[in-house]
Structure 1
Amino acid sequence: MNYTLDIFDEEKITCEYRGETYHVKDNGSIYRCRKPEKRKRPLDEKWTFGTPCKQKGYMNFSSETVHRIVATAFHGKQPSEKHIVDHIDTNKKNNRPENLRWITRLENILLNPITLSRILFKYKSIDNFLKNPSNPIEGELEQNFDWMRTVTKEESDNTRKNLMNWAREGKIPTGGQLGEWIFNKEINQTESISQPNYIISKTPNAAQQIIFQNDKPNEFPSTPKIIEANPLLTYYENLKEGKPYFRNHNGEYIVVKSDFSTDRQSIFVLTRADYVYRENKEGEHNPVPISKLQEEIIINDLPHSLNEVKYFDNLFIHSRVETGFHPREELEQIFDDYTKNKN
């Protein structure tokens, strides 16, 4: 469906993948560049979502899969040979970057609640699936890709919410087939009550609290790539002073200090901006990293933020304790109130 080709917010100009250079948009479309001093190929210099593969349901481009190119552009190179690209909402044609993440095959089963719910529905247990994945106990292997298609940002968000709700509730709403309700805007009142107030972030295994209606997925570089027996402890050990905690198109917030809550069910992280806004020659204000500034900066006067990390739904959920600008001293007092045991 080409109607979304020209609807996008962000374009990655330089993405190198297997010897080719691509432009990639955040609607999941790609553009292969012509090789320098080489003859233009038929597929060069054209925006496309790719061509559907009838056997596997993915979108292909030449001999490549589109989702791997998009994942490389927005989430970096494949971490290891064991990593694959996970379509979080299980729609293999939805290659929007917020729907993709690098993950191992086993993590794809254990960490994606939608995939896990489907496996448990058909195989009754993970053990049954691992013993004989070609022989489901309930029904047949699903090879129906008809409901899958390229989607708008709104449809992508709605799809993921509907499927996450299905994964928690264990049943599809009555009165229709999967493809009839999966992209719907409306979620009934019962579903909306249990719907978590977060969106999937750009970083694998990470999600973020929805603060504003038009929030976009951000990066949380300290998020553990591998979920271990004690997920929060693993995350806490990654939170080093001065290291990036949060990153978006403006810049980074770095770790000032972190500690567990008194009940050890979450981590509180005090951070500060590692950039400031400066006016350019055209009169526009743009973010500039602290490291590139010539003048001296009073660190304590920079914007600070107090954040909380919880582990829920097989995701590290990132939220803000206080929104807006607050003096560092005030946030440190709140930090101490949450982390210091008064007993």
Structure 2
Amino acid sequence: MHDTDSFARMPALDSAAQPPLSELLLVFEKEVDVSFKDELYRVRDNGAVLRCARPQLRRRPLDETWTFGTLNRHSGYPEIAGHVVHRIVATAFHGPCPSAEYVVDHIDTNRQNNRADNLRWVTRLDNILLNPITRARIELEYGSLEAFFENPGASFLPNMEWMRAVTKEQAAESRKRLLAWAQTSQNGGGGSLGEWVYHPATPGIRQAEARGKGPQLTAAQNEALAMPEFEFPITDRPVRIPGAVRRTPIVEPEPLDRESLTPGAIQRKWRTPTEFPQCPAVAGDGALRDYLVGLVPGAVFSRNQYGENLVVEAAIGPDNIMSVVCSAPPNSVKGWTRAKVYVEGGLFCHESGGMFFEEAGAMKAHCIAIGAPHEQYGETIDDYC
């Protein structure tokens, strides 16, 4: 891991609006190089990442570009090339994941705040019990921790609309408000999280509330809002950053997982209820290899109301994740699909790996997934679509 201290000033803002992401990318104090999943990244402490181009290979569309990632609207986490950004940032600034039992904890529970000081490696249980904000949000959703542990598979924390990439100063102030809210919120009594977390001043909100035109804030929210206004010194003169700048309605994301039509299987990022005819009945030891035996070319991999997907090629990659390339039903806009299959929680998880215009595009993604050479497929239309 190579470490480079660096700092870039952000251009002066024309207004007091939330700084656009293109400007937030430029404000950082430290930049390091890190290897993650066989790729080399440059990573900034503000949560921005840049995937380095591979020597002597064709440059890919996402190479050499600073980004906070593309938001996965199912999970709420920013991703780059299918990898969640927070794991890349955590690896760069806090070292590799200690073991498979560890996850990255977003300390302020804002899944889009991937600043290095907002991330830490913790076990899943510690993530629930030791983070007071996470604990308060569980109590808000379930009513109590006991109810959560009785049914942890139920929908959890559906409201992600308030999450966003933030400045260093906003991160510090919003964390204080979230902690204040968590300390005064008991068993769901604190109200939901929203734009009030970022709002620097309370009088306007309270006046609107009194007139019946604003949000009806709880006592916990009002107490958390009773924080001093902060300034963001990004130029020679301080620029005041208000918090409530978005007016989009809160829309709960679709669930990440769905039960499939095949017993013992679930679907991830896969909306249509689907049957998997070759799927084994039990996800025991060696289950993926048993599954692979039936995935010969031409076999039916999946079947739903839109038709059947027939196997073109299947293989198990180095992470014990099976990649399956299929031809799509004849009436599909894109004629090829790829799926990931793995065992999780005693179930076969079938995760969509995308649809492709060209077989070469699907096979290229397949080879990358299983760690096989893929240069023979060259550049495809799917690299840009």
Tell me the TM-score normalized by structure 2.
Answer: 0.45
Unaligned runs of 5+ in 1: 196-343
CA distance in 2, matches of 1:49, 1:131: 36
- The equivalent residue for 1:17 is 36
Among 157, 178, 181, which residue is 2:196 paired with?
181
Task: Map Cα deviations across residues 287-326 of structure 1 (whole Å, 9 max, x no partner).
Answer: xxxxxxxxxxxxxxxxxxxxxxxxxxxxxxxxxxxxxxxx
Among 47, 66, 80, which residue is 2:85 paired with?
66
CA distance in 1, matches of 2:72, 2:196: 24
- Cα shift at 1:119: 1.6
**What is the DSSP-based 3-state SS (H/G/I as helix, E as strand, rest coil) of the residue aligned with 1:24?**
strand
- The equivalent residue for 2:106 is 87
Among 12, 35, 38, which residue is 2:54 paired with?
35
Contact 2:201/2:227 (8 A) holds in 1: no
Contact 2:91/2:97 (8 A) holds in 1: yes
Q: Cα gap change, 1:4/1:10 in structure 2, threshold over 3 Å: closer, same or farther?
A: same
- The equivalent residue for 1:26 is 45
Unaligned runs of 5+ in 2: 1-20, 204-221, 229-385
- The equivalent residue for 1:127 is 146
User: Is 1:147 matched with 2:166?
Assistant: no
Identity of aligned residues (%): 47
**What is the DSSP-based 3-state SS (H/G/I as helix, E as strand, rest coil) of the residue aligned with 1:178?**
coil
**What is the DSSP-based 3-state SS (H/G/I as helix, E as strand, rest coil) of the residue aligned with 2:122?**
strand
**What is the DSSP-based 3-state SS (H/G/I as helix, E as strand, rest coil) of the residue aligned with 2:198?**
coil
User: Is 1:165 matched with 2:184?
Assistant: no
**What is the DSSP-based 3-state SS (H/G/I as helix, E as strand, rest coil) of the residue aligned with 1:48?**
coil
Q: Cα gap change, 1:97/1:37 in structure 2, threshold over 3 Å: closer, same or farther?
A: same
Equivalent runs, 1:149-228 vs 2, <5 Å: 149-170=164-185, 178-186=193-201
Contact 1:9/1:26 (8 A) holds in 2: yes
CA distance in 2, matches of 1:87, 1:36: 34
CA distance in 1, matches of 2:176, 2:26: 25
- Cα shift at 1:154: 0.7
Matched residues, number? 189
**What is the DSSP-based 3-state SS (H/G/I as helix, E as strand, rest coil) of the residue aligned with 1:143?**
coil
CA distance in 1, matches of 2:175, 2:134: 12
- Cα shift at 1:167: 0.8
What letter corresponds to residue 32 of structure 1 in structure 2?
Answer: R
CA distance in 2, matches of 1:62, 1:194: 39
CA distance in 1, matches of 2:202, 2:117: 21
- The equivalent residue for 1:297 is none
What letter corresponds to residue 11 of structure 1 in structure 2?
Answer: E
- Cα shift at 1:133: 1.9
Q: Cα gap change, 1:93/1:158 in structure 2, threshold over 3 Å: closer, same or farther?
A: same
- Cα shift at 1:39: 1.5
Q: Cα gap change, 1:85/1:177 in structure 2, threshold over 3 Å: closer, same or farther?
A: closer
Q: Cα gap change, 1:116/1:173 in structure 2, threshold over 3 Å: closer, same or farther?
A: closer
Task: Map Cα deviations across residues 237-256 of structure 1 (whole Å, 9 max, x no partner).
Answer: xxxxxxxxxxxxxxxxxxxx
User: Is 1:102 matched with 2:117?
Assistant: no
CA distance in 2, matches of 1:88, 1:30: 20
CA distance in 2, matches of 1:56, 1:65: 10
Asked which structure has the greater CA Rg, the reply is 2
Task: Map Cα deviations across residues 193-244 of structure 1 (whole Å, 9 max, x no partner).
Answer: 999xxxxxxxxxxxxxxxxxxxxxxxxxxxxxxxxxxxxxxxxxxxxxxxxx
User: Is 1:4 matched with 2:24?
Assistant: yes
Contact 2:196/2:225 (8 A) holds in 1: no
Cα-Cα RMSD: 2.8
Equivalent runs, 1:165-314 vs 2, <5 Å: 165-170=180-185, 178-186=193-201
User: Is 1:118 matched with 2:137?
Assistant: yes
**What is the DSSP-based 3-state SS (H/G/I as helix, E as strand, rest coil) of the residue aligned with 1:86?**
strand
CA distance in 2, matches of 1:5, 1:143: 28
- Cα shift at 1:181: 1.5
- Cα shift at 1:187: 7.9
**What is the DSSP-based 3-state SS (H/G/I as helix, E as strand, rest coil) of the residue aligned with 1:133?**
coil
- Cα shift at 1:67: 0.4
CA distance in 1, matches of 2:169, 2:197: 12
- Cα shift at 1:142: 3.1
- The equivalent residue for 1:47 is 66
Q: Cα gap change, 1:179/1:193 in structure 2, threshold over 3 Å: closer, same or farther?
A: closer
